[in-house]
A and B are shown apart, each in its own frame.
Chain A
């Protein structure tokens, strides 16, 4: 009777009754005109749910609601005294809808398969998962209608909640699909700084566009965002590792109705319905305009001339490095490229903390590079946000302060962060500028400034 009472208050429902289908009750229902002309076959042991609704969908919804009320989900048992030693036990305890996995990579697939089996979406920060396992995980996720973000997914946002390494940004209409965590972070911060925001940002992991994976998660993410009411435009950031995978992903992007922008590094594809952009910054700007935003144009900056010598790039984010290299080559500075290192790359993180967590080694490398006679320009990134070190700019500033040849090297950095991040954005920027570093909001702009510095060689140097 309690259930019937709830049902009768559902939208579109005129009356509802729940009865055991005994002959006496059936007769009562018939008298009340609640029994259809051809009642379903049922006996006295069956519970009959009778709904008189304005239309079929309202009636169907009411019956579904009755099902829910009659069979409540198993309450997470109060085993709160016992520690959860498995993902399943913890998931039951909290009624989980998503699993965040960051165990060592060689174990991550087992946990991710278990999470999918338990019906959870997955955020998999772990890298060094086998490609075979990644393919199988994404297939399994697709079959079950679940998100498989990763392996090697550093950042994601779902309904305004940040996962992994993320910056505090406002919610808004732009949905992102990204293969790179740091690329996603930069775009998110730019959008925030331009007064806009993100609906969701789904990470796919760095290998999603390799041939065996075939862009599986990217396509799922695009479909998800296309169906999401809060998303007004879709922004894709990835590397076109395999042409066929890239094409399939772009086709998915093009065939959905919302405005779509893509920065697909290495892609030589054009597709009607997708706006292709060469850098993360330009793609973010295009996405902003697609939802009525007005991103500021890149402003020409006073850049000192560099001496003879190379530009050395030392990055904590792989996409920052790729972006910088691409911009420099495009600007004709290819011959002046010196050593470009991604400190976040696998070789460096085997057994060591990520440079965003421990900025020490990269900061020391900045000092060493500065002191090398061949270095004309030092180009790097500083990434703020949750998960990152509490004072990355301070560590860099301290390291550069002690560097020989400091005055002969042009130091340029992109600072990725917002005023809502825990590191005090203003103070971080001050520390860098106080060390004589030219600070920009994006890797592309920083690289552009580096190219300019290289072009304006000192006379007689």
Chain B
């Protein structure tokens, strides 16, 4: 029989028991406990079924497999081609978008603006009005980027002729895709779609992409995880702050760009573009996270989360043990700091596939590594540490590759476990930009947002069903 040793107690429930123990000189830690799933009976029953030792053993083994796949994966930038050539299942009448599945009727302002702009860009319509008629006629199909191994920030719209970054995970030979980040201000991903936006998109396809391709041919595959690991040590969290990663990338790539293009102006324009965009690396980082996480898709019995995404209307997750199924809830409002002249009433609900960074243990899960962004979203360094620390309670483990100097180089909390989320009644924290609810206005602020709890509760119920 295991000895009791020096008695130290964890108390979960009535506080007075803890008080009585402390009075007797016994060290006690209390739990901030809440009924799972806000008291929903189906959630409670599912948690009870999953708690039995036999079921737990299966879950733990499956989650260990998921963690192993994540740890052994890699992410290298290997290509840059038009979406219709690179992305599986990309066809002429398809438009990909961020977040869980949605349709025109349910899309918010920024996403609609981006869709219309993309249709004009594709020359499927001569004007935005015509593009809208085209959509309403049913001639345009929509699908989540996620279901095509792709990710897009904010509206996340990808159309067939847009150049996409191709990122490969050499451990599992899968690829993930994302567009090149347009920069700040009036951009498609915030729903802007006027002539200047489309002109930039054309320039990116005609001038920028070929230059980058030339540089890539010369450099060979670029190890993105190495850049991201350095960036986290330099104050980035790779979601809302990408300045260090973008700088490291530029420094690494500049020579290849110059020598690869052998065109001074093309190289200079490219470098100017990269230097002017603090979030240049974001899309590469997002694709890297997607490449790392896609191999976790179909692991029976696993409660690990392999995707978290929002489309401005709903927020959804996917869990390894329930495969491609989406579990969704209304997209939350972001609690943040607004640029002058804007406020919460102007904001679009949470939007974008960039939550893939949190899913891989970055972004909000690495806040303690990014004091500058914490300030930007209205927090303190102490609060950042708290929020990051909380996330250790809902993840399978810690990152072996992304470590936080301020936490004694502890690995970031990594691989959200849906069962732990429900058990703790504690949802993942995201660190994100805020879009204006109307198309075309752009970013109006940034802040922290809690993913809703309901999708995790639904996922646990579905997972428990597979244990019957």
CB within 8 Å for A103 and B4 given contacts A136-B52, A136-B53? no
Task: Decide if the interface of chain A is mainly helix, strand, loop or mixed.
Answer: mixed
Q: Does A43 contact B (CB under 8 A)?
A: no
Q: Does B29 contact A (CB under 8 A)?
A: yes
Question: In chain B between 350 and 398, which residues have their CB closer than 8 angstroms to a CB of chain A?
Answer: 382, 385-387, 389-390, 392-393
CB within 8 Å for A101 and B390 given contacts A113-B53, A113-B56? no
Q: Is the CB of B1 within 8 A of A387?
A: no
Q: State how many angstroms separate the Cβ of B206 from the closest Cβ of chain A.
A: 50
Q: Is the CB of A110 within 8 A of B393?
A: no
Q: Which of B7-15, B186-194, B276-284, B306-314 contacts A (4 or more CB under 8 A)?
A: B7-15
Assembly CA distance A162 to B25 (angstroms): 11
When C-beta atoms are compared, the residue in chain B nearest to A76 turns out to be: B29
Q: Does A69 contact B (CB under 8 A)?
A: no
When C-beta atoms are compared, the residue in chain A nearest to B25 turns out to be: A161
Q: Does B177 contact A (CB under 8 A)?
A: no
Q: Is the CB of A100 within 8 A of B17?
A: yes
- The A-B contact count (CB < 8 A) is 162
CB within 8 Å for A125 and B30 given contacts A145-B2, A223-B1? no
Q: Is the CB of B10 within 8 A of A100?
A: yes
When C-beta atoms are compared, the residue in chain A nearest to B422 turns out to be: A110
Q: Does A199 contact B (CB under 8 A)?
A: no
Q: Is the CB of A145 within 8 A of B48?
A: no
CB within 8 Å for A387 and B20 given contacts A89-B393, A125-B13? yes
Assembly CA distance A387 to B21 (angstroms): 11
CB within 8 Å for A163 and B393 given contacts A90-B31, A144-B2, A158-B7? no
CB within 8 Å for A107 and B10 given contacts A85-B32, A100-B21? no
Residues of A within 8 A of B7 (CB): 97-98, 158-159, 161
Q: Which of A115-123, A207-215, A358-366 contacts B (4 or more CB under 8 A)?
A: A115-123
Residues of B within 8 A of A113 (CB): 51-53, 56
Bitwise interface map of A from 213 to 239 toward B, beta carbon under 8 Å scored 1, else 0: 000000010011001000000000000
CB within 8 Å for A91 and B10 given contacts A85-B426, A140-B53, A159-B4? yes
Q: Does B146 contact A (CB under 8 A)?
A: no
Bitwise interface map of B from 441 to 468 toward A, beta carbon under 8 Å scored 1, else 0: 0000000000000000000000000000
Question: In chain A between 49 and 87, which residues have their CB closer than 8 angstroms to a CB of chain B?
Answer: 77, 79, 81-87
Residues of A within 8 A of B423 (CB): 86, 110, 114
Assembly CA distance A79 to B21 (angstroms): 22
Interface residues in A, total, Cβ within 8 A: 59
Residues of B within 8 A of A104 (CB): 35
Q: Is the CB of B35 within 8 A of A107?
A: yes
Assembly CA distance A400 to B417 (angstroms): 57
Q: State how many angstroms separate the Cβ of A152 from the closest Cβ of chain B.
A: 14
Bitwise interface map of A from 146 to 180 toward B, beta carbon under 8 Å scored 1, else 0: 11000000000011011110100000000000000
Assembly CA distance A117 to B21 (angstroms): 23
Q: Does B175 contact A (CB under 8 A)?
A: no
Q: Does A126 contact B (CB under 8 A)?
A: yes
Q: Is the CB of A117 within 8 A of B56?
A: yes
Q: Is the CB of B13 within 8 A of A103?
A: yes
Question: In chain B between 418 and 435, which residues have their CB closer than 8 angstroms to a CB of chain A?
Answer: 420, 423-426
Assembly CA distance A321 to B389 (angstroms): 50
Q: Does B16 contact A (CB under 8 A)?
A: yes
When C-beta atoms are compared, the residue in chain A nearest to B419 turns out to be: A110
Q: Is the CB of A162 within 8 A of B24?
A: yes
Q: Is the CB of B5 within 8 A of A97?
A: yes
Assembly CA distance A89 to B33 (angstroms): 12
Assembly CA distance A181 to B373 (angstroms): 54
Q: Does B112 contact A (CB under 8 A)?
A: no
Residue of B7, B9, B44 ringed by the most chain A CB atoms within 10 A: B9
When C-beta atoms are compared, the residue in chain B nearest to A126 turns out to be: B13
Residues of A within 8 A of B4 (CB): 97-98, 121, 147, 158-159
Q: Does B405 contact A (CB under 8 A)?
A: no
Q: State how many angstroms separate the Cβ of B338 from the closest Cβ of chain A.
A: 27
Q: Is the CB of A106 within 8 A of B44?
A: yes
Residues of A within 8 A of B28 (CB): 94
Assembly CA distance A223 to B2 (angstroms): 12
Q: Is the CB of B48 within 8 A of A109?
A: yes
Pick from B24, B33, B420: contact of A161, CB under 8 Å: B24
Q: Does B47 contact A (CB under 8 A)?
A: yes
Q: State how many angstroms separate the Cβ of B425 from the closest Cβ of chain A.
A: 7
Q: Does B26 contact A (CB under 8 A)?
A: yes
Residues of B within 8 A of A95 (CB): 8, 27
Residues of B within 8 A of A159 (CB): 4, 7
When C-beta atoms are compared, the residue in chain B nearest to A88 turns out to be: B393
Q: Does A134 contact B (CB under 8 A)?
A: no
Q: Does A404 contact B (CB under 8 A)?
A: no
Residue of B1, B30, B426 ringed by the most chain A CB atoms within 10 A: B1
Assembly CA distance A159 to B56 (angstroms): 32
Q: State how many angstroms separate the Cβ of B77 from the closest Cβ of chain A.
A: 35
Q: Does B327 contact A (CB under 8 A)?
A: no
Q: Is the CB of B10 within 8 A of A87?
A: yes
Residues of B within 8 A of A85 (CB): 31-33, 390, 393, 424-426
Q: Does A22 contact B (CB under 8 A)?
A: no
Q: State how many angstroms separate the Cβ of A319 from the closest Cβ of chain B.
A: 21
Bitwise interface map of A from 119 to 146 toward B, beta carbon under 8 Å scored 1, else 0: 1110001100000010010001000111
Q: Does B18 contact A (CB under 8 A)?
A: yes
Assembly CA distance A45 to B10 (angstroms): 40
Residues of B within 8 A of A125 (CB): 13-14, 17
When C-beta atoms are compared, the residue in chain A nearest to B385 turns out to be: A81
Q: Does A386 contact B (CB under 8 A)?
A: yes
Residues of A within 8 A of B12 (CB): 87, 90, 99-103, 111
CB within 8 Å for A86 and B1 given contacts A103-B12, A136-B52? no
When C-beta atoms are compared, the residue in chain B nearest to A161 turns out to be: B24
Q: Does B36 contact A (CB under 8 A)?
A: yes
Q: Is the CB of A110 within 8 A of B2?
A: no
Q: Does B6 contact A (CB under 8 A)?
A: yes
Q: Is the CB of B1 within 8 A of A82?
A: no
Residues of B within 8 A of A220 (CB): 1
CB within 8 Å for A227 and B1 given contacts A86-B420, A96-B29? yes
Assembly CA distance A164 to B11 (angstroms): 11
Q: Is the CB of A86 within 8 A of B9?
A: no
What are the 8 A-B residue pairs with the smallest beta carbon separation, nearest first?
A102-B13, A82-B389, A85-B424, A94-B29, A90-B29, A79-B389, A110-B51, A96-B10
B: which residues have CB within 8 A of A? Answer: 1-2, 4-14, 16-18, 20-21, 24, 26-33, 35-36, 44, 47-48, 51-53, 56, 382, 385-387, 389-390, 392-393, 410, 420, 423-426
Could you list 12 examples of A-B contacts with CB < 8 Å? A94-B9, A100-B9, A100-B12, A100-B13, A100-B17, A100-B21, A101-B12, A107-B36, A113-B52, A113-B53, A125-B17, A162-B24
Given contacts A85-B33, A121-B2, A227-B1, 19 further A-B contacts (CB under 8 A): A82-B393, A83-B32, A84-B29, A85-B393, A86-B424, A88-B393, A90-B11, A97-B7, A97-B9, A100-B21, A110-B36, A110-B47, A126-B13, A136-B52, A136-B53, A161-B21, A162-B20, A224-B1, A387-B16
